[in-house]
Amino acid sequence: MDKTHLLASKILQGVGGEGNISKLENCMTRVRVEVHDDGRLDLTSLKTLEGIKGYLKQGEQHQFIVGPGAAAKVVDAMRALLSPAGEPVQNDIARNKATAKAKYSAPMSGALRKLADVFIPLIPAFIASGLIMGIINLLKRPDIAGSIATDYPNVLGLLAIFGGAVFAIMNILVGVNAARVFGGSQAMGGVMAGILSSPALAQITLFGETLQPGRGGVIAVLLVVALMCWLEKRLRNLLPESVELILNPLMTTLITATLAIVILQPLGGIISDGIAHGVNIAIDKGGLLVGAVLAGAFLPLVLSGLHQGLVPIHVELIQAHGSNPLLPILAMAGVGQVGAAIAVYMKTRNKRLKKVIKGALPVGILGIGEPLIFGVTLPLGRPFIGACLGGAVGGALICYWKVATVITFGISGLPLALTIISGKVMLYLAGLVITVLAGFIFTWLMGFNDPEE
């Protein structure tokens, strides 16, 4: 049995077996489990499993961090395995993360987590799209790709189609996922999003105004699908069983679609425009100060769970302007952790801590910061503050230089450079290096209490 199946079987045993699982899914780095009876969980054993890099609980959901690429494999193996097996190895990162999340979790984090769950399944598509757009930008540069762009225009055209496909059906995907998260019919969620995005809306005039397809973007879709799910559940309880199957989807569609066109889509448009314009004005006019505040405060937001509320904002910025200036700023928060961890590595005499840093630094550089945060800087205290200050320096510069990416979210750190808009790549890399140095210097000057072996 390989390591993935070994870990999967042990997690199944630790959560009380398949019979205790009510919901099983994954994001980029985490196995997410909801159970019927928390009392049957053996969290002590689960936290110490080899391959489990951290644990946290948000709402009813237990989240086990296994790393990028591994989460999907472990979940697939869990769905296929029945018998438990595995070897536990002590891992302090899990304990530190669970403690931090319990201490700093904000009251709204559960609701915002549900909102983020709508977009988490879309992350692979966002990553692929962003990287393809980055490849197109490189191929268009004569100093890098020569005359490829002019010699093979059809190739670039196809790549543009590949990279833009996710945005062509963005509202549909969000509608389907939102219905799943809100407990409604996924097909109906897609239908509601399709109605809002239909090109035929441009041929209709209502109250003296021509309707606008796609107005309000994902914000309007979320509002409409939330109403649809609520109405669908109410009608399921009110209608007789003999006609519910026929009348429920009919009435839900007619009522929700009418309210969507008349009220919710215009409201979503106002909110969407306000978010997109507000963020861009703040970044354009705020410069160094706004960038420093955004990047410096981002990791505390992660601890509280409130960062999940930023996910729709990333999507709205791409839909409204075709680029996202917010993500590169926030990415500096994780880069500051790298500098802080290097300072800790050079100062500490604790062999176990050095080993943790060695394992966490490579993935930290690649944009996966959780092992550094919960295994190194946060438990030590002052290095976490030093990392935040370093991130603030980088965020200020990235905002001042007006660096933006063509991706919504999903990648960070060094790989994000591949998705930065043309002409800003070197500035992003310069900001990344400066942020590492700033995090290092702040942490070195502030020091920390070196833990005993």
DSSP three-state, residue 16: coil
What crossing angle do the helices spanning 170-182 and 217-238 adopt, rounded to 10°? 40
Residues 6+ apart with CB under 8 A from 76: none
Residue with tokens 């946060």: 378
Q: Are the CB atoms for 100 and 57 separated by under 8 Å?
A: no
CB atoms within 10 A of CB 255: 14
Burial of 438 (0-12, 13-18, 19+ CB in 10 A): buried
What span, in angstroms and rounded, lies between the C-alpha atoms of 22 and 35? 5
Q: How far apart are CA 380 and CA 91, in angstroms?
A: 16
**Which 3 state secondary structure label does DSSP give 21?**
strand
| Residues β-bridged to residue 31 | 26, 64
Residue for token digits 């050079």? 346
List 420's β-bridge partners, or say none: 405
Active site residue 229: no
User: What is the sign, positive or negative, of the torsion defined by CA atoms of 274, 427, 371, 135?
Assistant: positive
Residue 432: partners with Cβ closer than 8 Å, 6 or more residues away? 332, 335, 394, 413, 414, 417
Report the C-alpha gap between 166 and 406 in whole angstroms: 13
Sort strands 61-65 and 30-35 into parallel, antiparallel or unpaired. antiparallel
Asked whether the beta carbons of 33 and 59 are under 8 A apart, the reply is no
Cα separation of 319 and 325, whole Å?
A: 13
Q: Are 176 and 182 in contact (CB under 8 A)?
A: no
CA 193 – CA 169 distance, rounded (Å): 9
Cα–Cα distance for residue pair 56/293, rounded to 1 Å: 26
Alpha carbon distance 349, 43 (integer Å): 31
Place of tokens 């990287």: 131
Q: Which residues are catalytic?
A: 27
